[in-house]
Amino acid sequence: MTDSLDSTDTLAHGAADPVAERTLGIVLVSASAVAFALTGVLTKSIHADPLTITCWRGFFGSILITFYVLWRRRRSGGRESLRLGWRGWLLAVEGAAASIAFISAFKFTYVANVAVIYATSPFIAALLAFLLVREKFRLQTMLAAAVSLCGVAIMVGGGLGSGHLFGDGLALLMTTGSALYMIMVRAFRDSPVVWAGAVSAFLLFVLGWFVTDPLAVSTRDMVLLATFGCSFALASILWTEGSRLIPAAESGLLGSAEVPFAILFALLFLGEIPPMASIIGGAIVLCAVFAHAGRDWMKAKSAGP
């Protein structure tokens, strides 16, 4: 998901009621989780190959996110720089690579598998942060990571011989890439993260334009591709605005709702029922994720404003 711009201006700027502001934040972040959860259904519903999908998703998404960034910049009086620098470009390239793996994974395995494996990204990020920058690894995070790893092992093990192992591998690769992206965002605090996301999406459009035949898509697929790009941009914008209004722990907890929504949408729109190994492994991972996020939320709540 997209981190917020470094700006103190919010949609609820000047609001006198903190309760109303918090409620708006909860609604926006929850809505972003629902929009992000459509990724699996849309990817599987489009007949085009993964690179063509990322091409058009990047095209429509980059345009809308660019309009949003320019709108934010105008509201802030031009204080927000659009200069990427090498750090911003590194974020854009790394994000583009993770997106390709993300979209491709849905083509080769169950939506539930990709969604659940992706849910472990905070734990992988914590592990990578410990290994790369010696960031403190909390005991509760270590325990939750160990439990979620067991769940992923059960899920991936159930895919052996079923033809879904490649997709599960892509999901693990994408999750590792996303975890690395989280670390880079924290390390490159001065970089315009949302703008880097727009550039990343446009890079995917350029790549797809030269290595695939993006115009060789049906009218049906083009409509779905435009919808996909718009939902991606909408989810990013909702998350950016909503996460400004509520604590980070609460944003993380609400964002975790993306996983069950993705599985539910796959069941409702695709009739996709994952095998028992995926259900058991997924349940273990979700318990670890929600317990970890819930504990952080309770701790932040007890600490007060």
Helices (DSSP H) in the chain: which residue ranges? 18-36, 39-45, 50-75, 85-108, 111-118, 121-133, 139-158, 165-187, 193-211, 219-242, 248-255, 258-270, 276-303
Contact present, 84 and 199 (Cβ < 8 Å) = yes
What's the token pair of residue 135? 């960031």
DSSP state of 191: S
Query: Higher confidence at residue 158 or residue 242?
Result: 242
- Report pLDDT for 4: 41
DSSP 144-185: HHHHHHHHHHHHHHHTTTTT-HHHHHHHHHHHHHHHHHHHHH
Mean pLDDT of 160-168: 78
Contact present, 242 and 99 (Cβ < 8 Å) = no
Give the domain ranges of the chain. Answer: 18-303
Rounded (5°) CA angle 183-284-243? 40
Rounded (5°) CA angle 129-133-138? 45
Residue 245 has pLDDT above 70, yes or no: yes
DSSP state of 13: T
Closest listed residue to residue 176, CA positions, set 131, 228, 218, 226: 131
Looking up tokens 């069941």, which residue turns up? 267
Q: 93-107, 122-136, 218-232: lowest mean pLDDT where? A: 122-136
pLDDT digits (tens, 9 = 90+) for 253-297: 788 889 999 999 999 999 999 889 889 999 999 998 888 888 878
